Homo-oligomer: A and B are copies of this chain.
C-alpha cells in the first residue's frame, strides 16, 4: 500500500480500487455502499425528501476541534437539519492532490465516519479523483445529503412575521476564528476550538417543544449577519437585533478585533439561527438550552414591521447601526 496519493489513484484502475476498498469502504462500510455499484439504492419513508450539497476547501485541513472530514459531514447534516429534515444518507466526493499522504487521508476519512455515526447518517456512495501536485491543497471534499421530512412541517425565512423572536443556539464565530488562528497568521494564542457539530439533535428538541418554528438557518459563511439579512429580504420585514444579547466568546471578540472583522460575519459550523413566534421565544430557548449544543442559546433580536429589508443592530453604546451583507472576503477558505 502506497504512502502517498499518486495519479494512478484517480485513473479508475487497480490503484483506484485498492484505495476505495482499503481507505473509503473500510471506514464508511455499510450495506448500501458495500456493493460499490454506480449508485446506492434505498427507500425513504415519508412523503417529502430534502437534498443539499456543499463542497469543503478549508485550509488548513486539520484544526483545533475538527478537520475537513467531520466538517464535511456536519455541514451537510446541518443544511438538512435546519430544513426540517432528518438526515439519512450522504455522498462523499474527494478531489485529492497527488502526493497527499494516505495517512492524512485516512485520518480525514475516519473523522467523517465518526461524524456520520454521531449524526446517525450513512455515507452510501462516493467518488475519488486525483489532480496533479499543486492543483489542490491536499484534499477537497464534496458531500451531498438526503433527508426525509416527517409530517407536514413547513419552514422558510420568508415566513418571518413582525413580532417573531430571533434566537441563536450558542456563541458565534468560534469556527471561523479557530481557522484563522490555526493558520498562524495572527500572533495570538487563544483557547478556542471549532464549533463543528451535527445540529439534527438540537433541531429535533426545538421542533418538539415549539411546533410553530418559522425558519432555521445554520450560520456558516457570512455568519449570523448574513442570515438576518436573508430573513429581512425574504420576508420583507425589518430585523432589529441587539449587540449585547449576541453571545460571543471573549477570545472570538478579541481575535475579531485584531482581524478587523465584526463577529456577526464570522462563520460557525454548529450554530443555528431560529425564527419563532414571539410568544414561543422562551419555550424555544429553554428547549435549546436543554441540549448540549444549545446550552448558550439566546434571543438576539426580533422581527419588526418597519424598515423592511433592513437589519439594524442596537449597539453596546446605545446607538443603532445597519448591518448589511458582507463585502469582500475577510476570512477566506474557512469551510
Contact = CB atoms under 8 A, between A and B. Distances in A.
Contacts of A156: 35, 37
A326 B57 CA distance: 30
A220 interface: yes
Contacts of A335: 129
B11 A326 contact: yes
Contacts of A252: none
B11 A79 contact: no
B53 A126 contact: yes
A45 to B, nearest CB: 10
Given A146-B146, A226-B12, A50 B55 contact: no
Interface stretch (A91-99, A186-194, A281-289, A292-300): A91-99
Contact of A48 (B43, B54, B55, B89): B43
A222 B51 contact: no
Interface stretch (A13-21, A100-108, A243-251): A13-21
Contacts of A330: 11
Contact of A41 (B57, B89, B149, B267): B149
Interface string A218-238: 101111001000000000000
Interface residues of A, number: 85
A80 B11 CA distance: 21
A51 B13 contact: no
Given A80-B39, A83-B37, A93-B53, A13 B144 contact: no
Interface string A320-335: 0000111111111101
A44 B44 contact: yes
A246 B55 CA distance: 39
A158 interface: yes
Contacts of A52: 38-40, 91, 125
Contact of A51 (B125, B135, B137, B221): B125
19 contacts: A6-B329, A10-B333, A11-B326, A11-B330, A11-B332, A12-B267, A13-B327, A13-B329, A14-B324, A16-B221, A17-B325, A35-B156, A53-B127, A54-B93, A54-B127, A129-B335, A135-B135, A140-B140, A144-B144
Interface of A: 6-8, 10-17, 35, 37-44, 47-57, 78-80, 82-83, 85, 89, 91-95, 124-127, 129-132, 134-137, 140, 142, 144-147, 149, 156-158, 217-218, 220-223, 226, 265, 267, 324-333, 335
